[in-house]
Copies of this chain bind each other. A is one copy, B any other.
Amino acid sequence: MGRVVIDVMPKPEILDPQGKAVVGALPRLGFTGFTGVRQGKRFELEVEGEVTDEVLAEARKAAETLLSNPVIEDVVSVRAADGAAGAGA
């Protein structure tokens, strides 16, 4: 059973309030040295068989039509997951 990983991020020119909140909270918790944060989405799609080029093409189309809003977001990556994704850090 294969897995496709899709990353979606807010476009660089779009304000990202979640990222702004995180970058404001980090120094208050003692984490210095981070100057900017952007928050996006990560999807893991399970497929029945192998992750072929056709599956990746279909996943990219789904990413661009359903999983992201092309006005404010970029699909930055569509790839086959390597090994045991979803496992602990």
Q: Interface residues, chain A, CB within 8 Å of chain B?
A: 1, 7-9, 12, 19, 22, 25-26, 29, 31, 33-48, 55, 58-62, 65-67, 74-78, 85-89
Give 7 closest A-B pairs by Cβ, nearest first: A36-B46, A42-B42, A40-B42, A38-B44, A75-B89, A31-B62, A35-B46
CA distance A71 to B39 in the complex (A): 20
CA distance A89 to B73 in the complex (A): 11
Contact A31 to B66, CB < 8 A, known contacts A40-B44, A44-B38: yes
Please tell me how many copies of the chain the complex holds: 2
B67 adjacent to A76 (CB under 8 Å)? no
- CB-CB < 8 A to A31: which residues of B? 58, 61-62, 66
CA distance A65 to B28 in the complex (A): 12
